[in-house]
């Protein structure tokens, strides 16, 4: 096996390894269910923040009415 042949074989191996790595990374992408759960988490945090803001607003209104 001469050097040119080794270089060619190494290039082929490298290309196959790169393609396998890209396929693995693509397969590890987020599923629609994971995206849905993340969106639900964001909405729950937004609702909690609005409730907290609403509670603070009603408390300050109660203090003013006294």
What pLDDT does residue 41 have? Answer: 97
Torsion, Cα 46 49 53 56, to 10 degrees, reads: 160
What pLDDT does residue 16 have? Answer: 95
Low-confidence residues of the chain: pLDDT under 70: 1, 59-66
What pLDDT does residue 44 have? Answer: 98
DSSP for 11-66, please give it: HHHHHHHHHHHHHHHHHTSPPHHHHHHHHHHHHHHHHHHHHHHHHHHHHHHHHHH-
Verdict on whether the full-model pTM lies above 0.75: no
What pLDDT does residue 46 have? Answer: 97
Q: What are the sequence ranges of the domains in the chain? A: 1-29, 31-66
The position carrying tokens 């992408």 is 29
């Amino acid at each position: 096996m001469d050097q040119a042949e080794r270089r060619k074989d190494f290039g082929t191996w490298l290309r196959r390894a790169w393609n396998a790595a890209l396929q693995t990374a693509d397969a590890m992408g987020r599923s629609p269910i994971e995206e849905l759960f993340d969106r639900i988490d964001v909405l729950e945090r937004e609702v909690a923040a609005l409730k907290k803001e609403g509670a603070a607003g009603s408390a300050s209104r109660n203090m003013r009415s006294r």
